[in-house]
């Protein structure tokens, strides 16, 4: 079986002033081939799309204060600010109802109902400290039009495929956007060890070398 190689790509700090496709092309054009996958951290894509909010700009409701108590401490929605940011984009009553459904679901052995019914952003929001400085002081939403972004990346870089991934240090890997013909489950498993470095490492882009042959040989 063909072996893949995962190569983190160092960049400067990316901000809302950057175009994500242009920036990735700049840092990877001499490193990526038609056999490779380009993978980028979802929080970085969102930041370049200006999809973040400062906690001090949020008006915390009593409902958010109540609901955040039912989220595990390690979750981005466990803080009043994280919960309020979700309510602001998905609707407070939708979020509260989804949380109630999630509680009932756990009683009968069904997990994940809150994230199923609480809106797309329920699983994508990164609370403060969840991303790279200086945006570790911000709440970052999930990216907009991820499918459009990965399609543009594949076309521009002429690589085998492109993905936007939501990966953390808790061994959780979720594909947010992926080009056709790319095996998302395989990519997610390869990224489980979180090769992205959104903090001091400044490596929010990862190239998966030889992925085309690896996928075909599976």
> What's the CATH code of the domain at 193?
3.30.1330.100
Looking at the structure, tell me whether residues 47 and 77 fall in a common domain: no
Q: Which pLDDT does position 137 carry in this prediction?
A: 84
**Domains contained in the chain, number:** 2
Contact (Cβ atoms closer than 8 angstroms) between residue 204 and residue 38: no
10-residue mean pLDDT profile of the chain (218 residues): values are 85 92 94 96 93 94 96 89 96 96 91 91 81 79 95 97 87 90 94 71 86 88
Is 67 in the same domain as 134? yes
Which of 95, 116, 139 is the last residue in one of the domains? 139
Tokens of 124: 């994508």
What's the Rg (C-alpha) of the chain? 18
Q: What is the pLDDT of residue 198?
A: 54
**Domain end (from 139, 159, 181):** 139
Question: Do 119 and 190 belong together in one domain?
Answer: no
Are 92 and 192 found together in one domain?
no
161 and 180 co-located in one domain? yes
Structural domain ending residue among the three candidates 110, 139, 168: 139
pLDDT of residue 18: 95
Give the pLDDT score at 80.
95
Do residue 38 and residue 27 come from a single domain?
yes
pTM here? 0.86
Domain match, 40 and 87 both = no
pLDDT at 134: 76
Whether residues 166 and 103 fall in one domain = no
Please tell me whether residues 84 and 45 are part of one structural domain.
no
Ordered DSSP codes for 12-58: ----TTS-HHHHHHHHHTTT--TT-EEEEEHHHHHHHTT-EE-GGG-
N residues, the chain: 218
- Ramachandran angles phi, psi of 209, nearest 5°: -75, 145
Same domain, 191 and 157: yes
Rounded Cα distance, 179 and 183, in Å: 9
Residues 81 and 146 in one domain: no
Domain range spanning residue 76? 52-139
pLDDT of residue 199: 53
57 and 47 within one domain = no
Specify the pLDDT at position 85. 96
């Amino acid at each position: 079986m063909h072996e893949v190689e995962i190569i983190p790509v160092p960049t400067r700090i990316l901000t809302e002033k950057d175009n994500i496709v242009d920036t990735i092309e700049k840092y990877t054009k001499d490193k990526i081939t038609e056999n490779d996958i380009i993978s980028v951290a979802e929080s970085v894509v969102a930041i370049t799309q200006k999809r973040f909010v400062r906690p001090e700009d949020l008006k915390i409701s009593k409902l958010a204060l109540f609901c955040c108590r039912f989220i595990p401490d390690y979750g981005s929605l466990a803080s009043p600010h994280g919960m309020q940011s979700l309510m602001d984009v998905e609707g407070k009553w939708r979020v509260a109802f989804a949380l109630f459904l999630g509680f009932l679901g756990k009683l009968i052995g069904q997990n994940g109902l809150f994230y199923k019914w609480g809106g797309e952003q329920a699983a994508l929001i990164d609370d403060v400290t969840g991303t790279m400085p200086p945006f570790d002081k911000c709440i970052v939403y999930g990216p907009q039009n991820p499918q459009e972004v990965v399609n543009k990346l594949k076309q521009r870089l002429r690589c085998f495929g492109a993905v936007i991934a939501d990966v953390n240090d808790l061994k959780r890997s979720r594909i947010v956007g992926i080009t056709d013909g790319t095996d998302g489950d395989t990519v997610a498993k390869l990224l489980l060890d979180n090769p992205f470095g959104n903090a001091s490492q400044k490596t929010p882009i990862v190239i998966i070398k030889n992925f085309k042959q690896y996928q075909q040989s599976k």
